[in-house]
Amino acid sequence: MEDIQFEQLYSEVEIYFSNQCKSTQSLCKLLVQNKANSPYAPSLLVNPIAVYSLNQTNGIGQKNNQWHSENGKNLAITFAISIQKHWNLIELNKMLTLSVLHTIQKFSHLPISIKWPNDIFALDEKLSGILFEIQNINNQKVAFFGVGININQTDFPQNLVSATSLFQINQIETNIHSVLMSLIENVHVHLQKLNTQFEIHANFQKYLWKLNEIITLRIADGEGFKLEKFKLIDVDFEGRIMLENDNGDQLKFHHGQAFIDL
C-alpha cells in the first residue's frame, strides 16, 4: 500500500495522511479493506475515516475525468463512512455536499453554490469537485466521499477554463490545514443532522447554482448527446435535476442521463 500514516482522531474522525498518492479515493478504499481483513479490528468502521494528501497525482472526478492538482497547493481528501440502515443515500450525499459548501464559505469572499449534482462553484467557476461512491465491504455498506478543493493554485491547464481557487478569489494564500480541519468538523456536524429533522432538501436547494435560471443541458441521445435549454427549478428527493421547458412542462433527469453544459 502507498505510504500512509495515522495522524489523529478529531471530531470522531480518524485522520490519515499520505505524503503522495495517486488517488485518496483509491487509497482510502484500500485502507478500509485492510481494516476489514484485520483480525484485530473490532468492527469495520468504528469511526469515519479521512485520508488526505497535498500531492495527489492521479485524482479522479465525476465521469472518470482526471482531477488536476498542483503539488502542495490544494487539498485532496476522501472520507469513508459506515452507512446506517435508516439513512437515505440521496440525503447523505446532499448533506455531505453541504458540509463542503459550508467549509468553503468560511474561506471565500464570493458567494458559493452547488452545481448539480455536487460540484462547488464560486460564481461561474469550479472551486471544488466531489465524488460519492457506495461499496459493500464485508456485508456492510460504506460511503466513500472524495473531495478536491483548489486552495492556493494559480495556474490551471488551458482545457480547465472554468477552474478557480481560493487564492484567485481572495488574492491571498489560505492555510490548507485550516481548511482540512474545518471540513472534517463540518462533516462530523452534518452527519449528526441526518438523525434529526434538519431540512436537507431546502438547504440544498437554497445553494443550487443557476436556480430559476435558463441552463443548457447535454442529454444522452443514443451514442451521443443533444443540447437543450431549460429552466432549472429544483433537485428532487431522488437526486434528479428538475427542469421546465418553454411549454411549462416539467422534466427530470438522473445524473448520467444529462449534464449541465458550461
Q: Which grid cell is 256?
A: 448520467
Region 226-247 average pLDDT: 96
Same domain, 34 and 160: yes
Query: In CATH, what number is assigned to the domain containing residue 220?
Result: 2.30.30
Quote the pLDDT of residue 160.
67
CA–CA distance, 106 with 127 (Å, rounded to integer): 14
Domain ends where: 161, 179, 206? 206
Same domain, 130 and 24: yes
Burial 227-239 (b: 16+ CB within 10 A, else e): ebebbbbbbeeeb
Strands, DSSP E only, in the chain? 5-10, 13-17, 49-53, 59-60, 66-67, 75-82, 112-115, 119-122, 125-137, 140-149, 214-221, 224-235, 241-244, 250-253, 258-261
Into how many domains does the chain fold? 2
pTM of the model: 0.93
Return the amino acid letter for 153. Answer: Q
Per the prediction, the chain carries an average pLDDT of: 92
Same domain, 66 and 177: yes
Same domain, 45 and 67: yes
Quote the pLDDT of residue 66.
57
Same domain, 240 and 135: no
Same domain, 226 and 182: no
**How many residues are listed for the chain in this entry?**
262
Sheet holding 224-235, edge to edge: 250-253, 241-244, 224-235, 214-221, 258-261
| Residues 151-195 pLDDT 10s | 999 988 777 668 999 999 999 999 999 999 999 999 999 999 998
CA–CA distance, 148 with 199 (Å, rounded to integer): 26
Same domain, 185 and 249: no
Same domain, 22 and 141: yes
Which domain, by its residues, includes 26?
5-206
Q: Which grid cell is 142?
A: 460504506
Query: Which of 1-5, 23-27, 108-112, 169-173 comes out lowest in average pLDDT?
Result: 1-5
- What confidence tier does 62 reach under pLDDT thresholds 50, 70, 90? low
In this model, does residue 40 exceed pLDDT 90? Answer: no
In this model, does residue 64 exceed pLDDT 70? Answer: no
Quote the pLDDT of residue 39.
76
Region 69-87 average pLDDT: 93
Quote the pLDDT of residue 46.
85
In this model, does residue 45 exceed pLDDT 90? Answer: no
